[in-house]
Amino acid sequence: MITKFCEENNLKITKDKNLKTKKLNRELSTIKRLISINFGEYMLLPDADIIIYTSNPIKIIAILSIKNSFRERYTETPYWKLKLLQDEITKHIKVFMITPDKDNEISFIKSKRGIRKARVVMEYELDGIYLAKEEFDESDKVKSIENLFEDLKNLI
């Protein structure tokens, strides 16, 4: 679905795994530099399952993080979003989460024990969360996966 959307809208996609190879063409090398996070003497790539970008000129539109379940990893993607915000070159990049949320870690705002910490953190820090399921507490940022393409189109 994402590949088809990108083809129809003159966008390109790549994966962070593609950027970790030693020999990159000019375009992928540029993509790698445009999403790298500066840690002083180190430059690291954020968790970026899918990177959506334009090729002429090269501009990163969004990073999609795809997770089936979270457990204690729910802060990973928000952490990378915060790091991207700290640099002029990367602060415009939208970070979206796509998940079936099999364990209902973020689908609902409250559980029997109170507010769900994972939901609050992710909804507050990320640009959007798209759920591949039918029942969940919807908000301006937590939506059905069908809304992803409309939101991406608004970024172009």
Q: 8-17, 26-35, 101-110, 136-145: lowest mean pLDDT where?
A: 101-110
The pLDDT score that the predictor gives to residue 53 is 97
**What is residue 139's predicted lDDT score, i.e. its pLDDT?**
96
pTM of the model: 0.93
The CATH number of the domain covering residues in 2-155? 3.40.1350
Q: What is the mean pLDDT of residues 43-57?
A: 95
Indicate the pLDDT class of residue 85, thresholds 50, 70 and 90: very high
Residue 77 to residue 85: CA distance in whole angstroms: 13
**pLDDT for the residue 51:** 98
Given this model, what pLDDT does residue 81 score? 97
